[in-house]
Amino acid sequence: MIQQKCALVCGAAGFIGSHMVKRLKKEGFWVRGVDLKHPEFSESTADDYLVGDLRDPDVCNRSLDRTFDEVYQFAADMGGAGFVFTGENDAAIMHNSAMINLNMLESCRKNNSNRIFFSSSACVYPSYNQMDPDTPNCSEDSVYPASPDSDYGWEKLFSERLYLAYYRDYGMAVRIGRYHNIYGPEGTWDGGREKVPAALCRKVVRASDGGEIEVWGDGKQTRSFLFIDDCIEGTIRLTRSQIATPLNIGSEEMISINELAGVVMEIAGRKLTLKHIPGPLGVRGRNSDNKLVKEMLGWEPLISLKEGMGKTYVWIAEQIRKTDALTK
C-alpha cells in the first residue's frame, strides 16, 4: 500500500499559505494547517486545522505531533509598504517572526520533519544595489555585504542564516525561496497590510468617473510582481529539489508603480488621474534576477503581469461589490 504523504503549512490562513494548502490537497497530501486565525476569503481545505500562536513552542510541538514529509513555513508578521516601511512595527516584525522561525525549526528537528521550506524575501537585498530604478541588482550572491533597507529584511536574513545553520549542523533539507512581491486573488486588499497591486485595484474600483487615485511618492520606483500560481509552482519545485542555497522566486517583468497603475486602469477600462502623495516607499528599484533559479531549478514564471493583474482585478472588484452590498 502506498502511504499518503503529509504536509504541514504554517501561516495557512495567509495569502500564500491558503493557496499552498489547496495545491497540496489537489496533489493528494494529508495537510495540516496552522495559523493564528482561519482564512478570511475561503474555507481552508486542510484535513486538520490548528488555530494557535507559533511563537509558543508548545503550539509548534503540537503542530508537529507526527513526522511530515514537507513543511512550509509562511507564518510571519508582515504586510505591504504601509506596514513594513513606516518603522512603527519594526519591534513586532522582528520579535514575532524570529520567534516563529526559532521555534518551528527546532520542533521540526526534534520530530524528524526534515524537509522545510522557508519563505524569505527580496527585502534581504542591500539597499545600495537598489538606488537606481532602471538597474537594480538582486542576484542571489549580491546579498552580502548585508544592508537591507528594513528590519523586516534583516529578520528574513537572520532567519535564512538560522535555517542554513540547521542544514549544515543537523543535515535538514532546508529550502529557501526569496519571494518578490507575490500577488493574486485571495490576498489582503485593504486594512493597511495590503500590497501595491491589490491597493491599486481597490483604488481604481473605488474611484469616481474621471477622478483620481493616490500613489505614494513620484511613482517612478520600480518593482516586479509574481502571480500566486507561479509562486506556488516555484515553491513546490524548490522544496522537492536538492538545492539548499537560497533562490529568487520572482518575475523579471519590472515596471514602475505609475505604469502598474496604468495597467490596472487599462484592465478596468477607466481613465483616472494619478495624485502623488508622500508615503512609505522602500528602495528605488527592485527586480528579480532569475538566472540562477532558471539554471538550477528549471523554473520560470508563466503568467504575464497583464494576465495576473486581470485575474486579481476581477476578484477584488467582486470583494468590493460584496462588501458594499453588506454595508448598504
Catalytic residues: 152
Q: Is 119 in the site for ligand NAD (CB under 6 A)?
A: yes
Element (H, E) at 197: helix 196-206
Site string for ligand NAD, 196-235 (x = CB under 6 A): ----------------------------------------
Closest residue by Cα to residue 247 from 138, 131, 169: 138
Site string for ligand NAD, 149-188 (x = CB under 6 A): ------------------------------x-xx------
Answer for which of 6, 7, 9, 13 binds ligand NAD (CB under 6 A) is 13
Nearer to ligand NAD, 195 or 237 (CB): 195
The CB-of-79 to ligand NAD minimum distance in angstroms stands at: 7
- Per CB under 6 A, the segment of 10-18, 239-247, 276-284, 315-323 that binds ligand NAD is 10-18
What's the burial of 168, exposed, middle or buried (CB within 10 Å: 0-12/13-18/19+)?
exposed
Nearer to ligand NAD, 72 or 272 (CB): 72
Answer for which of 22, 36, 268, 280 binds ligand NAD (CB under 6 A) is 36
Site string for ligand NAD, 50-89 (x = CB under 6 A): ---xxx------------------xxxxx-----------
Q: 219: phi > 0 → left, psi -120 to 50 → alpha, else beta; which?
A: left
Q: Can you tell me the distance from the alpha carbon of 118 to that of 105, in angstroms, rounded to the nearest whole number?
A: 10
Nearer to ligand NAD, 75 or 274 (CB): 75
> Contact, 280 vs 81, CB < 8 A?
yes
Count of residues touching ligand NAD (by CB under 6 A):
25
Q: Can you tell me the distance from the alpha carbon of 90 to that of 204, in angstroms, rounded to the nearest whole number?
A: 30
Amino acid type, 8: L
Question: Which residue is associated with the grid cell 516607499?
Answer: 281
Answer for which of 37, 145, 210, 278 binds ligand NAD (CB under 6 A) is 37
| CB-based burial, 87-110: b 16+ in 10 Å, e otherwise | eebbeebbebbbbbbbbbbbbbbe
Residue 158 CB coordination number (10 Å): 16
Closest residue by Cα to residue 155 from 86, 89, 227, 108: 89
| Contacts with ligand NAD, residue ranges (CB under 6 A) | 11, 13-17, 35-37, 53-55, 74-78, 96, 100, 119, 121, 179, 181-182, 195
